[in-house]
Structure 1
């Protein structure tokens, strides 16, 4: 499978080992993004020069899912997908069709039951990261992750009303609330996992830094939506709460992802969710590009 082909399809189950910690991407579904509308700083010329990022319908392909973090028999899930639902494409939207529903089956394929997840760490309170956390288990009316705390940055939860403009309803937030536990910037939320504030996409958007065996992986949520932004951190998404702030954090993030001991996890990065920011080999001043890794 070529790199270009992977950019045009959603990700499947993929795992990496960092010392004693195993991380596994758990697919839930996918979303189609309209390139010029989702990244309004781009032009038709940009996409004509980079057709490798676009599927046969002319969309960016965004994976949707969660990251399973396992260590010493314990299990954490970062983000909870879109849930057992789908939305059709609507004219004028910056995104096309969105579909979820596969997370529980893929979690089982990875060897875990929902009740074994001790916490769900949420990067931010948008629909495609909350799905299985607020949505009842099909046919039961009960939460899927019955024994889990929902870990949300205090800065995100205290400003949760701002996410209602992006479709997160009061009903969804109320369903989450009994299990929510807030945390402070920099707090260790699980062995080897620390919160890294990255506001901009939302007011309290948070990345998670997973460290083990002398390596680290930054699960950066929606600080970046597409690998093309690694080369152009100035391109903010139309859904960013503060475009200037998010661009500043992206520049810092790309620099961190270029460190030799550091990997990144981009939940929406098509089928290249794990990778590093590498320097272009064919000349100075060209910035970085996303180099996928598989081990």
Structure 2
């Protein structure tokens, strides 16, 4: 969310957290957006200045057109993202960001929602963004959140990803899972469940 506190939502401290690990903003080469809701774009810019000046910022074109240039553009997204200018890379197909990191278009929560799949040595981790908002949605197939732009498409893609991951070694994490914990989808008594891993 960036440097943000409106009494209801409070942003994090991403640049400070990166610095604590020896990473300066200028060291970051790529930023990938799962979607362009306000709570996922906050550190793109800070008071009009690009936070990661050497990075390429990647977003799905459908989200850009929905939130930034479309008829129902979100003024917050316009303000936060327009300063990216030539640093912005819009994509409209699934693609490999870098070896071991693939972007998968999963529309529903937003038109350009993207899951990032990290793979290495035959194992995968799916960074779901808000495709799944709550672990309950992995058990309750029809459970919705009010923020899905297209609830039917969101439900379909969420269930497809959960079914594909069920009873495999695939790890999943979503932006709003408690503690952003990774876990697996397992089938217990005929129902899908999320089991976090330590």
TM-score scaled by length of structure 1: 0.62
For residue 179 of structure 2, give the secondary structure of its aligned residue in structure 1. Answer: coil
Q: 1:201 to 1:166 in 2, by over 3 A?
A: farther
Q: What are the ranges of 5 or more consecutive residues in structure 2 without an aligned counterpart? A: none
Deviation, 1:249, is 0.6
Aligned length in residues: 197
Question: For residues 71 and 171 of structure 2, what CA distance do their matches in structure 1 show?
Answer: 29
Q: Which residue of 2 aligns with 1:268?
A: 176
Match of 1:128 in 2: 39
| Cα deviation, residue 156, structure 1 | 2.2
CA distance in structure 1 between the partners assigned to 2:174 and 2:46 by the alignment: 23
Cα distance change on mapping 1:142 and 1:167 into 2, 3 Å: closer
User: Which of 26, 39, 42 is equivalent to 1:115?
Assistant: 26
* Structure 2 residue corresponding to 1:100, chosen from 2, 5, 11: 11
Report the counterpart of residue 157 of structure 2 in structure 1: 249
| Contact 1:218-1:264 at 8 Å conserved across structures | yes
Greater Cα radius of gyration, structure 1 or 2: 1
- Tell me if 1:151 matches 2:55: no
Query: How far is the alpha carbon of 1:272 from its aligned partner?
Result: 4.6
- Tell me the secondary structure at the aligned position of residue 173 of structure 1: helix
In structure 2, relative to structure 1, the CA distance for the partners of 1:143 and 1:269 (3 Å cut) is same
- Residue in structure 2 matched with residue 7 of structure 1 by the alignment: none
Q: CA deviation at 1:165?
A: 6.3
Does the alignment pair 1:84 with 2:3? yes
Distance 1:99 1:226 in 2: 19
- How far residue 163 of structure 1 moved from its aligned partner, in angstroms, is 9.6
Contact 1:125–1:168, Cα closer than 8 Å, also in 2 = no
Tell me if 1:292 matches 2:196. Answer: yes
Q: Superposition RMSD on alpha carbons, in Å?
A: 2.0
Q: Write out per-residue CA displacement over residues 200-251 of structure 1, whole angstroms, 9 at most, x where no aligned residue.
A: 1111111111111110111110011111111013212101100111000111
Relative contact order (C-alpha < 8 Å, sep 6+): which is higher?
1
- The gaps in structure 1 that reach 5 residues or longer are 1-81, 89-96
Alignment pair present for 1:208 and 2:116: yes
Q: Secondary structure at the match of 1:246?
A: helix
Deviations 1:158-186 (A, max 9, x none): 33346956663422231233321112322
Instruction: Give the TM-score, by structure 2 length.
Output: 0.90
1:160 equivalent in structure 2: 67
Aligned 8 A contact 1:219 1:265 in 2 = yes
- Name the residue aligned to 1:9: none
Asked if 1 retains the 8 angstrom alpha-carbon contact of 2:136 and 2:143, the reply is no
